[in-house]
């Protein structure tokens, strides 16, 4: 039985909202923005700094500098202790793996479909949408954005490059997912489809009928 669901999503598809509604329906922990807060605590930095590297790669010059710092004789002293995209991705992987061990959570993006690919208890979904719908959603969310189309393409490209760089996978490869669905069906239909595909919706109904409580949920209380 599945106890973790990962949601990969196109930018502007509403995948984040679908993940949130799914977590609410299941009464599970949602790991999206709070995942960045967890990493910030681990790195002892402001969450805003972590957000700069979230699902991003370091600029070319920064990555090149890191190569030189790891080669003896080029720069004196040990490599600088800084938070960058590589360090953020490493911390993100640790948090995601820890979350999967606890279970009962919905994880949004961050390569979680690759990190947890071999776990039979994890269900992987990919949310997409027609371009026009995505653009409308982005414009509603960011009314001051000058070019929604450029932002959409750039963010999708970043997510794709992030997965390819750190996990060697094609972000849209259907073989990474149990289910790929369009959010144009509506958020409620999308959530219900995931629940049906996982069998979690039926399990929740049985649990509620018995007056039971998801005991593993309490493990998240102090996380």
pTM of the model: 0.78
The full DSSP string for 139-206 is: HHH-TT-S-HHHHHHHHHHHHHHHHHHHH---TT-GGG-SEEEEGGG-HHHHHHHHHHHHTHHHHHHH
Round to whole Å and give the CA distance between 205 and 193: 15
Which helix (H) or strand (E) segment holds residue 211: the answer is none
**Average pLDDT of adjacent 10-residue blocks, the chain of 223 residues:** 96 96 95 78 72 62 43 41 75 90 94 96 98 96 92 93 93 97 96 96 62 50 52
Residue 3 has a pLDDT of 96
| 158 CB-contact burial (10 Å; exposed 0-12 / middle 13-18 / buried 19+) | middle
Residue 111 has a pLDDT of 95
Residue 69 has a pLDDT of 44
Task: Among 3.30.1360.80, 3.40.50.150, 3.40.50.300, 3.10.180.10, name the CATH number for the domain at 4-212.
Answer: 3.40.50.300
Q: Would you call 122 helix, strand, or coil by DSSP?
A: strand
| 215 CB-contact burial (10 Å; exposed 0-12 / middle 13-18 / buried 19+) | exposed
Residue 90 has a pLDDT of 85
Q: What are phi and psi of 34, to 5 degrees?
A: -65, -20
Residue 140 has a pLDDT of 94
Residue 79 has a pLDDT of 37
Phi-psi region of 181 (alpha: psi -120 to 50; beta: other; left: phi over 0): beta
């Amino acid at each position: 039985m599945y106890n973790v669901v990962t949601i990969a999503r196109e930018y502007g598809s509403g995948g984040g909202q679908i993940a949130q509604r799914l977590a609410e329906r299941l009464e599970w922990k949602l790991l999206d923005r709070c995942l960045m807060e967890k990493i910030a605590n681990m790195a002892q930095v402001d969450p805003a700094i972590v957000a700069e590297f979230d699902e991003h790669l370091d600029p070319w010059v920064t990555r090149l500098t890191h190569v030189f710092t790891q080669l003896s004789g080029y720069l004196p002293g040990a490599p600088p202790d800084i938070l960058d995209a590589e360090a953020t991705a490493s911390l993100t992987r640790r948090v995601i793996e820890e979350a999967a061990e606890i279970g009962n959570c919905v994880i949004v993006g961050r390569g979680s479909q690759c990190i947890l690919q071999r776990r039979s208890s994890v269900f992987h979904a990919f949310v997409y949408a027609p371009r026009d719908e995505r653009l409308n959603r982005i414009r509603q969310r960011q009314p001051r954005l000058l070019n929604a189309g450029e932002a959409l393409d750039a963010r999708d490209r970043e997510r794709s490059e992030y997965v390819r760089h750190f996990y060697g996978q094609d972000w849209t490869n259907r073989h990474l997912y149990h289910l790929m669905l369009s959010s144009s069906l509506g958020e409620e239909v999308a959530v219900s489809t995931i629940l049906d595909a996982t069998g979690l919706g039926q399990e929740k109904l049985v649990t509620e009928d018995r007056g039971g409580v998801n005991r593993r949920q309490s493990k998240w209380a102090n996380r």
